[in-house]
């Protein structure tokens, strides 16, 4: 296949939005209830991407604290309550995102989101930021639903958009996004400015962009190869 993807499915945190400050703030309030100090925003960035429970697991492990499942479950619930109360105080849409979404919508490209962020928080964040109007399908973290890099959420989004994986692109910022896309049989483009802790290029995406102004050409380039 040549030309341009029929659908583009985005990750959320570190890809469409810079949300680390609000996540760190909710985490700080959660830890304060345990009499524990906050975690620096730059450290929190390295822990984002696996969902709320995984975030709590990483924080407890990093501090050598009790990581019994019951404690993790309790702190996860507290964190999500704090985060849902203030999901967008400091969260910002990355520069160039709106222009890209407008350009893709004008082309008739199907747009979706695939994120490990809890579904309720995802829905509220998208609504507050005015992003919800762009996306025909959103899959987010929920009990019993496998998280990325499992491909289940991505394939569900593509099915709702009426697009096959081979004619679509996953656009994210992490190894989980690459793994999810590869497992689904979908090309993948990464942004270099997200929350990945390490060398983004080494993750093996089909393309890496440093700025959203490069995204349209990168998406077209991915589909200009003979193998497509």
Range list of H helices, 63-131: 69-85, 97-107, 119-129
Could you give the 3-state DSSP secondary structure of residue 67?
Answer: coil
Dist. CA 225–CA 221, nearest whole Å:
7
Query: Integer distance in angstroms from the first to the last C-alpha of the chain?
Result: 4
**Considering 11, 22, 177, 206, which one is annotated as catalytic?**
11
Select from 106, 115, 105 the least CA-distant residue to 156.
Answer: 115
Dist. CA 187–CA 189, nearest whole Å:
7
Dist. CA 208–CA 144, nearest whole Å:
32
DSSP structure class, residue 164: -
Dist. CA 134–CA 185, nearest whole Å:
24
Whether residue 73 lies in the annotated active site: no
Q: Which residues are catalytic?
A: 11
């Amino acid at each position: 296949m040549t030309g341009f993807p029929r659908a583009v499915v985005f990750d959320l945190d570190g890809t469409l939005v810079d949300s680390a400050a609000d996540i760190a703030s909710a985490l700080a309030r959660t830890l304060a209830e345990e009499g524990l100090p906050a975690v620096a925003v730059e450290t929190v960035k390295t822990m984002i991407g696996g969902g709320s429970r995984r975030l709590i697991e990483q924080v407890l492990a990093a501090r050598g604290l009790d990581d019994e499942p019951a404690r993790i479950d309790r702190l996860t619930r507290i964190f999500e309550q704090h985060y849902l109360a203030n999901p967008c105080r400091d969260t910002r849409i990355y520069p160039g995102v709106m222009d890209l979404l407008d350009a893709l919508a004008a082309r008739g490209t199907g747009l979706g989101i695939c994120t490990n962020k809890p579904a309720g928080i995802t829905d509220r964040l998208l609504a507050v930021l005015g992003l919800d109007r762009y996306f025909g399908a959103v899959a987010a973290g929920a009990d019993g639903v496998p998280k990325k890099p499992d491909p289940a959420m991505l394939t569900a989004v593509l099915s709702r958009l009426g697009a096959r994986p081979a004619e679509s692109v996953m656009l994210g910022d992490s190894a989980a996004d690459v793994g999810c896309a590869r497992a689904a049989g979908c090309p993948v483009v990464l942004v270099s400015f997200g929350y990945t802790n390490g060398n983004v290029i080494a993750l093996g995406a089909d393309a890496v962009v440093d700025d959203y102004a490069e995204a349209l050409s990168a998406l077209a380039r991915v589909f200009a190869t003979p193998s497509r």
